[in-house]
Amino acid sequence: MQVRQAQRPVVAYKWIALSNTSLGSLMAFMNQTVILISLPAIFHGLGVDPTAPGETSLLLWVLMSYNVATTVFLVTFGRLSDNFGKVRFYNLGFVVFTLGSLMCALTPGTGSSGAAELIAFRFVQGIGGALLMSNSVAILTDAFPRNQRGLAMGVNQVVGISGSVLGLVAGGLLATVNWRLVFLINVPVGVVGTIWSYLKLRDIGERIPQPLDWLGNITFAVGLLALLSALTYALLPYGGQAMGWTNPWVEAGIAAGVLLLGLFVWIESKVPYPMIQLSLFRIRDFWAGNLAGFLGSLGRGGLQFLLVIWLQAVWLPLHGVSFAQTPFQAGIDTLPMLAGFVIAGPIGGAVSDRIGARWIATGGMVVSAVGFALLATLPADFSFPIFAVYLVVLGVGMGMFAAPNTASIMNSVPAGARAVASGMRATFMNAATVMSMAVFFTMVIGGLSGTLPDSLRSGLLAAGAPPALAEQLSHLPPAAALFSALLGYNPFQAAVPPSVMAGLDPKLAANLISPHFFSQLFAGPMTSSLRIVFAAGVVMSLVAALASALRQSARVEVVPSGVVDSTPRPLPKARPVER
């Protein structure tokens, strides 16, 4: 009887932990998509043209500052949480994220200075996101028994994906009223989450206080920040080239980042209390799961942005949708991929609880590869129902993989290392997402650089444009065309001054301001470039499937020598429980 009384609060607590951490996921995912849809309204409200020379970096950093900050601090916060308490730092994450959202909504400046302030406030948001992400999965792992963790991870991730849907809808509605509302919407959710987590969550896992590895923390944070910043600036044109890979600052940032991260690994092998327990990589499920997660995120990280651009720049205008309406409509049209994830996520987690993560996660990556291959077969003016089915296939594959892979990683580590393991898992995934953006955009812009000028020149001449104007517009930078599409702008209309437009033949002027005309010329080069990206997605997904298959087939937790196994074990039934 005493055993039942002792266990009853624990059974109730796991659902409290799941609901609260799911609220955090909902808020974080909603924050990502609401920005994507609201970019035109945000820059209009700030009075900035992000496609103007020298201003494109503001667009990139408004998009990327949150992810960069989150990635840089995840492992550090995970290590601190293992020392001083996961719930304490998780609660702090709600507070910081909410304050960051309020600061974004109250951005005082306008113009470039206002955009810089918004970027700084987004960085604060990212710090709060890192505190939440580094601990939410660890809190779930502590709260749920081993045979239910896959289901718990699946539900948590499905709620997060639902936040993506809510962000698309909320961003589309709120941005039409006032751009500040897209940040303010996070505040009531954050307040509720802060109060709820403070009152209801508690640390029930293992805590092993150790001295902080300051040198390791500093080299890791600075090295990763240098690398991610360089990858972000590599997306900008430089010296007459479409991208900035030859920019000395980009080259220096990449070199410094790699050097510092290499130094960090050496430091971790020497200090008595490292920030990252390198011995965790001797656990097969840990390294195989993280490798598979990294490769999977590398394959899909920039995918949503490119699908949105494909829809905004090509498909929607070809079907009569104005550029002003394409950001919101494009976000809605990618929902089938999220629906596939929602369907497969909990099922994949529940099945992995019964049979293990190895084959269900591996199968998920194979299905993702099939989804990428199907997308590569689409023409520029595709049938939307077929496109939607292919997105569902891709989403199902991602859903099958996500929860089992996360549960496998977290099940493999000792209880005293769960927060830092959660932070490492999230760091690999976030870093891969930023790298994916750089890699995929490089592929697309590289492809456009070779095919777009001829397509624009021949199309403009056929439409009756003066040769000088056709030559001028044919040199439209591919990156500018992509970012204009992302913002819902017509690149031709933005590139031709009104005074020049007024002197053109009325039929030609009507073509230049028509999104349908630009999309006809852009469709072929863009679709060809995306096929390269989809092919890369196939390869990355299959390599991720191979890495996933390397994990253990049985659900056995193996702790290698050198790693303290502090996992709580169930009490024998006959042993009384002391109060």
Q: In this predicted model, what pLDDT tens digit does every residue of 386-416 receive, in sequence order?
A: 999 999 999 999 888 988 888 888 888 887 7
The answer to whether residue 574 is domain-embedded is no
The answer to whether residue 5 is domain-embedded is yes
Over the chain, what is the mean pLDDT? 82
Looking at the DSSP bridge assignments, the partners of residue 241 are 238
Q: Note whether 21 and 46 are same-domain residues.
A: yes
Torsion of CA 300, 304, 306, 310, to 10 degrees: 130
Distance CA 124, CA 397 (A): 33
Distance CA 214, CA 259 (A): 18
SS3 131: helix
- Residue-level pLDDT at 442: 86
Q: What is the mean pLDDT of residues 19-32?
A: 84
The answer to whether residue 342 is domain-embedded is no
Q: Note whether 190 and 236 are same-domain residues.
A: no
- Residue-level pLDDT at 325: 76
Q: Note whether 5 and 134 are same-domain residues.
A: yes
The answer to whether residue 50 is domain-embedded is yes
Q: In total, how many domains does the chain have? A: 3
Q: What is the mean pLDDT of residues 520-531?
A: 90
The answer to whether residue 503 is domain-embedded is yes
8 pLDDT more than 60: no
- Residue-level pLDDT at 11: 52
Tens-place pLDDT, residues 137-179: 888 888 888 788 877 887 887 787 777 777 877 877 888 788 8
**pTM for the complete prediction?**
0.79
Residue that finishes a domain, picked among 474, 507, 522: 522
The residues near 81 (Cβ < 8 Å, ≥ 6 apart) are 88, 89, 90, 134, 135, 138, 419, 420, 423
Torsion of CA 347, 350, 356, 357, to 10 degrees: 50
- Residue-level pLDDT at 24: 85
Domain at 114, CATH number: 1.20.1250.20
Among 398, 380, 392, residue whose Cα is nearest residue 319: 380
Domain range for 52 is: 1-202
Going from the C-alpha of 58 to that of each of 24, 108, 296, 431, 490, the distances in angstroms are 27, 16, 28, 20, 19
Q: 207 or 134, which is more confident?
A: 134
Q: Note whether 13 and 148 are same-domain residues.
A: yes
Q: Note whether 244 and 107 are same-domain residues.
A: no
What secondary structure letter does DSSP report for 504?
A: S
Distance CA 516, CA 295 (A): 37
Residue that finishes a domain, picked among 143, 175, 202: 202
Q: Note whether 101 and 240 are same-domain residues.
A: no
What is the sign, positive or negative, of the torsion defined by CA atoms of 521, 233, 71, 545?
A: positive
Among 407, 406, 394, residue whose Cα is nearest residue 343: 394
To 5 degrees, how large is the angle CA 282–CA 411–CA 216? Answer: 50
Distance CA 522, CA 453 (A): 10
Q: 74 or 258, which is more confident?
A: 258
Q: Which residue in this structure is represented by tokens 């490292």?
A: 274
The answer to whether residue 431 is domain-embedded is no
The answer to whether residue 169 is domain-embedded is yes
Residue that finishes a domain, picked among 473, 497, 522: 522
220 pLDDT more than 80: yes
Distance CA 414, CA 567 (A): 5
Contact 311, 365 (CB under 8 A): no
Q: Note whether 121 and 191 are same-domain residues.
A: yes
Q: What is the mean pLDDT of residues 451-459?
A: 90
The answer to whether residue 135 is domain-embedded is yes
6 pLDDT more than 80: no
Contact 336, 391 (CB under 8 A): yes
